[in-house]
Amino acid sequence: MEGILYISEYQSPIGELVLAATDSGLSICAGNEVVEKRRLIEKVVKGLNLTTNHNAVNEILKSAFSWLDNYFSGIENEKEPPLLLCGSPFQNKVWLKLTEIPYGATVSYSGIAKATGNPSAIRATANAIGSNRLWIFIPCHRVIGANGRLTGYAGGLEAKKYLLDLEAHLK
């Protein structure tokens, strides 16, 4: 794939998010202060053979901003912008399973491992979840520990709790 990776920021209740998209789909939605933004963007650019256009917005980013506006207003979105998964086949499989978790619901890491047909691959599943670059759109915040506790979220546990509380009324 050759093309342009459009990169912009979005101010959210959980902090500033960096979003990046090609004309094919959204490839990054992650916390600006948490991730090494440059490294994250370089990985996508190199993997897809793209050039970058910072502080620019294409139609997919506009759609993502609108989706996020609705989401943070407590409105369940019917259709999200197209997503461009940039992972290994295993990561993509895990991430697609995450998109099946309903708003406000939670699933354990072992539950996701089982759902992908790899019940003994809990650690690999957790690593794939931790590599998710599409926060909120691929809802890794809905994955919790087997004991029911909130665990690991790149945006922090406070953000994870905020997102789950926000979604609770949409169940």
Contact between 60 and 47 (Cβ < 8 Å): no
Contact between 161 and 144 (Cβ < 8 Å): no
Per-residue b/e over 109-124, b at no fewer than 16 CB within 10 Å?
bbbbbbbbeeeebbee
DSSP 135: T
- Nearest-Å Rg of the Cα atoms of the chain is 15
153: Cβ contacts below 8 Å, ≥ 6 apart: 140, 141, 159, 160
**Catalytic option among 140, 143, 144, 154:** 140
140 in active site: yes
Contact between 159 and 16 (Cβ < 8 Å): no
Q: Which residues are catalytic?
A: 140
